Structure 1
Amino acid sequence: MTWNPLRRPHLTAKLSFAPSVIDRAEDQQLEVLYYKLQHVEETSRRLQKNMKKYIEYLTNASKSEQRITSELSSSQICFQNDELRKIVEDYHSVTVKGNENVAELSSTSQQCFQEPLKKFISMFAAIDAAFQNREQLAQEWRNLSVKVRKLEEKERTGTNIVKLERERKALAAASTELLACHSSLLFELRYFLEKRPDFFHPILEAFMRSQLEYHGNMTRLFTMLVKISYPQSDASPSSAMVPENEFQASVNEKLHKLQSLSIVRQKQIK
């Protein structure tokens, strides 16, 4: 199994706070945004995973159906009945074309859904880096704050006063930088979350259109198949369907006739 960096969540930073610099309410606002972003990233990854599974299942189902018609085409029962052989061959042609339609849907899904979603998920690496930078600034502020507090407790000698003044300036600069980083994060992350629907709307619309194209093509193929195989039908999907009770009665009648054959009864006795 190859390693895929997209399987590892990007947002792993642990938030810490600097109450003397940033208002506690704003810290809480950033924390709420962080957990919302974690949920968005997790949901986006699930979407990507489930879309991949959906296409895989659809592809496997289409290939299985094609194998069924292929095996039917080569079976003895079809060689013995020209009408049945024609129906199976037409059905097999439909499954071949259906397999091509699935491949087209898969390609469209990759272009209009998977690739854009992959780019969207990759943005969380930059968001995590921004949180990591904030954490680093907060840590620097805490270190400088400790230094200033220790120097304030020392004897007020000339050397200590010079050091204290230098560290206070450094602390003030760190506070300003941390506050600016925090404010920028709040603004940009809110904007990112607000604009999220603008990103997802076109890719979902494109995928729904590709679904409409796929299912429309499959409906036309099977409608044509019914029209060719059963000319007496008006070829509409509903007209080709037999009511469930009639269908079950017909199946049971045929099974009963098969079971009444002497070869079947002999096998059951043995």
Structure 2
Amino acid sequence: MSWNFRKSRKSVPSEDDVARECEKIKSVEDASKQMLKDGKKMADTDFETAKAAKKLASDLNALQSENASCNCAVILAKTMDDCGSLADKKYQLLQKTLIKPMKWYGDLFPHLNGHIKSHDKAQQDYKKLKAKMDKIREKGDTGPNIVKMNNMKRELVPVEEEFDAKHRMLLDEFPAFYNGRLQYLQPIFEAVVRSECWYHHQLQELFDKTLNELTQTDPDVDLEAEVNDTLEQIRGLSITKD
């Protein structure tokens, strides 16, 4: 009976092919981890901006309580309070559009890495059994060796089939995941850009409104001249030279 089962089966795909696909997945995993880390930093900045703006609004309100005629402080306090609210909304948007989706995306990699470990174990089992068969073959075709060789050939069939299946599965699943990454990530990128556009547009509208309120408080006041006068007073108090 012939045990040359390789004649009727396709050859096992190259190990280099799997190694190349694993490297691609590793690069995507590293990049996504870094993106999540930097995204958290950006969100934390918005959180701190919201706190700072609210604190400044509180300081301005305290200033107004000491000087009832300081109407500009009231206007600016309201503006800074609104700035804080906008920064807080942007923080919440980043959590929904970037942080959580990237966390979910990162949860896929342990599953993929599990496939790699399973593949590597099957490969080791296959190579170990093949090495044993080679040693027996080197000892010659004695009766006991022939029996051992036939038994090991039977053992090799399911081991090689399992390794072959895991090998081909990686070559199917990994390229599909890698090539499909932008289908998942592009909506995230678009959502982040839209969030930033919304935030800065709201800020522009807010400060345009504030500027109009400040200039319309007293039609006779030259706002630019008032600002320059204030800057001159500040310079006069400074102990350093320009």
Displacement of 1:154 after TM fit? 4.0
Please say if 1:32 is aligned against 2:11: no
Percentage of matched positions with identical amino acids: 21
Match of 2:119 among 128, 131, 134: 134
Displacement of 1:249 after TM fit? 6.7
Displacement of 1:218 after TM fit? 1.9
The 5 A counterparts of 1:1-270 are 22=12, 26-75=14-63, 79-80=66-67, 82=69, 85-154=70-139, 156-231=141-216, 253-255=232-234, 258=236
Gaps of 5+ in 2: 1-10
Displacement of 1:200 after TM fit? 0.7
| Aligned residues of 2:79 and 2:210 also touching (Cα < 8 A) | yes
| Aligned residues of 2:119 and 2:166 also touching (Cα < 8 A) | yes
Question: What's the secondary structure of 2:216's corresponding residue?
Answer: coil
Q: Decide whether aligned partners of structure 1 residues 75 and 96 sit closer, same or farther in structure 2, where only a CA change above 3 A counts.
A: closer
Instruction: Count matched residues.
Output: 226
- The one-letter code matched in structure 2 to 1:114 is I
Q: Decide whether aligned partners of structure 1 residues 232 and 93 sit closer, same or farther in structure 2, where only a CA change above 3 A counts.
A: closer
Q: Cα deviation per residue 1:216-261 (whole Å; 9 max; x = unaligned)?
A: 222222211111111289xxxxxxx96xxx99975664346x35xx
Q: Cα deviation per residue 1:144-192 (whole Å; 9 max; x = unaligned)?
A: 1122123223464544423211211222332232222212211211111
- The one-letter code matched in structure 1 to 2:102 is L
- The one-letter code matched in structure 1 to 2:146 is I
- The one-letter code matched in structure 1 to 2:233 is K
Gaps of 5+ in 1: 1-20, 234-240
- The one-letter code matched in structure 2 to 1:207 is V
Equivalent-residue separation in structure 2 for 1:67 and 1:112 (angstroms): 27
- The one-letter code matched in structure 2 to 1:199 is Y
| Aligned residues of 2:58 and 2:77 also touching (Cα < 8 A) | yes
TM-score, length of structure 2 as denominator length: 0.80
Q: Decide whether aligned partners of structure 1 residues 230 and 247 sit closer, same or farther in structure 2, where only a CA change above 3 A counts.
A: closer
| Aligned residues of 1:62 and 1:95 also touching (Cα < 8 A) | no
Q: Decide whether aligned partners of structure 1 residues 114 and 184 sit closer, same or farther in structure 2, where only a CA change above 3 A counts.
A: same
Report the equivalent of 1:10. Answer: none
| Aligned residues of 2:133 and 2:149 also touching (Cα < 8 A) | yes
Equivalent-residue separation in structure 1 for 2:58 and 2:231 (angstroms): 27
Which of the pair has the greater relative contact order for Cα pairs under 8 Å at 6+ separation?
2
Equivalent-residue separation in structure 2 for 1:119 and 1:193 (angstroms): 16
| Aligned residues of 1:63 and 1:99 also touching (Cα < 8 A) | yes
Displacement of 1:108 after TM fit? 2.0
Displacement of 1:62 after TM fit? 2.7
- The one-letter code matched in structure 2 to 1:97 is D
Equivalent-residue separation in structure 1 for 2:197 and 2:234 (angstroms): 39
Structure with the higher helix share, 1 or 2: 2
TM-score, length of structure 1 as denominator length: 0.73
How well do the aligned residues superpose, as a CA RMSD in angstroms? 3.0
Displacement of 1:134 after TM fit? 0.8
Equivalent-residue separation in structure 1 for 2:177 and 2:190 (angstroms): 20
- The one-letter code matched in structure 2 to 1:146 is A
Q: Decide whether aligned partners of structure 1 residues 142 and 247 sit closer, same or farther in structure 2, where only a CA change above 3 A counts.
A: farther
Displacement of 1:56 after TM fit? 0.9
